Structure 1
Amino acid sequence: MDEVELTQYITTSLAGVDVVEKDGDRYFFYDPGEQAPPDRRFPFATLVTGDRHDQFSQLDRTGIYRLNIGVSKETFRSLLGPEPFSPPAAGTVSSEYDFTAIDRWLPHPVYGSMYWVSVLNPGAATLEMMKSLLAEAYEMSSRRQGKTT
């Protein structure tokens, strides 16, 4: 699944999703009717295509992108273990995780401590779980927005 197919999957299978594109990246918001004030919105998932925000995943490699999904603490721990994840020190990757690995669930290299998971180029190994995690993040976002509108 490439970035276009993934974007199409998210926008056609989850109702009320607004996509904001910037610098080749996509930010997915639950916002039916685009009624939420921009400063009150937070993405439930992002699709990042380059090293503009961090270099841990080496996203400037040809054809490589990273899907990031905000999940619950329980889901994060069921995927990646009970230990809280601390982001690597600035400029270094001294972690048990290979953030350049393709089609494998990882903590987000910067926002893992906030229960964001990531996968580079989701494929056969992660596709079904990706659908489930996107649905969870979408549901969490819709509930959160319901409390703020």
Structure 2
Amino acid sequence: MTMDEIISFVGGFDGVLTMRPAPGDGTPEISWGDTFFYYAPDGTIATTAQPFATVVTKDYPGDEASHLDRPDTFRVNVAAGKEAFIRWTGHAPREDASAEVDPSATDTLMVHPVYGTAGWLAVVNPAGRTEAATRELLRAAHHLARARYERRAQSACTD
């Protein structure tokens, strides 16, 4: 899967707002070139909203284990949620699994090297072995984000 294929796939889900920071748009320089997916059917990101998936093209401070500084390397990060996380890894997000997989391995589904305890999974350069799983996880993350949004909207209506 290429970055463009992933961006197009996720961008095709209902209510998705795709953020692609770039020079001159007021975003931090470190985020330029990366992609962030939010469930925001009204086109507005709530101040408390977090993306449900990202595509990152470089190492961030404190998140260098995937060695994204290699040519043509990117990582898809997915807020899988507890159930999907357990299904794919065999353990709960809070359990330490840092030694399970080399975080720089390509085409390998893994616990996110930094946000794994929050239920995030990751794939560096998804390809044949992980394409179906990556698509399934992205769909599930979108579904969870939509459900959170709808719960918050419903709660706001009853307040």
| TM-score calculated relative to the size of structure 1 | 0.87
- Structure 2: gaps of 5 or more residues: 22-31, 154-159
Which consecutive segments of 4 or more residues in structure 1 shift more than 6 A? none
The answer to whether 1:7 aligns with 2:7 is yes
Equivalence for 2:115: 111
Q: Which deviates more from structure 2 when the two are superposed, residues 18-27 or residues 110-119?
A: 18-27
Check conservation: 1:87, 1:111, Cα contact below 8 A: no
Which one has a bigger Cα radius of gyration? 2
Q: CA deviation at 1:17?
A: 0.7
The answer to whether 1:40 aligns with 2:38 is no
Equivalence for 2:64: 55
* Matched position secondary structure for 1:33: coil
Distance 1:72 1:46 in 2: 15
* Matched position secondary structure for 1:32: coil
In structure 1, give the amino acid aligned to 2:88: L
Q: CA deviation at 1:87?
A: 7.6
Q: Deviations over 1:80-114 (max 9, x none)?
A: 122544386xxxxxx23200110110000000011
| TM-score calculated relative to the size of structure 2 | 0.82
The answer to whether 1:139 aligns with 2:143 is yes
Check conservation: 2:38, 2:45, Cα contact below 8 A: no
Q: CA deviation at 1:65?
A: 0.3
Distance 1:71 1:30 in 2: 14
The higher-RCO structure (CA 8 Å, 6+ apart) is: 1
Equivalence for 2:133: 129
Equivalence for 1:91: none
Distance 1:25 1:107 in 2: 20
Percentage of identical aligned residues = 32
In structure 1, give the amino acid aligned to 2:19: V
Matched pairs, number: 141
In structure 2, give the amino acid aligned to 1:111: Y
